[in-house]
Each structure stands twice: as structure tokens, then as C-alpha cells.
A = this chain, B = another copy of it.
Amino acid sequence: MSRSNTVFIGKKPSMSYVVACMTLFTSSNEVVVKARGRAISKAVDVVEIIRNRFMPDVKVSDIKIGTEEVKSEGAEEPPTNVSTIEIRLTR
């Protein structure tokens, strides 16, 4: 399969996402790691752990950064911007 599989980085420990990516790699040659805001640092950690410790054959084929507008739950406050990252891994 060459379907693109995405892992969204959140508040769990890095190793949870490392395992999620490695599981996806069992059925795909491409995995995309996405994160927003403070989780961006963790996304880079996850990719580096995969490459250095577990799957040295995995390559970073593309990195994109961007901005998303986030509307606050309540009321009148203006939307705020949050940075995003998308790291594409292939092997």
C-alpha cells in the first residue's frame, strides 16, 4: 500500500507516537507526522527517535510548516494563530 497514514502528536508521551508510527509502517511505506503549537517539538523528537533508535532506513522526505487559525471556545475573543508542522516519512 502507498496510502498516506497520519499520526497527530498530542499530549501523550513521545514513545506512544513512536509506536503508532512504527505500527503504521507495517502496512504502509509512508507515514505523516502532524503537530500544532507546543507539540511541534515533540513531533521532531518522535521522528528522531524512530530514525535513530528503531528504523534507520526511514527518511524524512518532506517537512512543511504553516499556520492555522484557532477559534476560542467562548464568545467574543478573536481567533488566535497556531503554528503547524507536517513531517513526511518514507522508507
Contacts and interface: CB of A to CB of B under 8 A. Distances in A.
A18 interface: no
Interface string A26-64: 000000000001111100110110001000000010011
A86 B42 CA distance: 16
Interface residues of A, number: 21
Contacts of A83: 41, 44-45, 48
A63 B66 contact: no
Contact of A41 (B40, B63, B66): B40
Nearest to A14: B83
A48 B63 contact: no
Question: Nearest 8 A-B pairs (CB), nearest first?
Answer: A63-B63, A40-B41, A44-B83, A48-B67, A45-B83, A41-B41, A48-B83, A44-B65
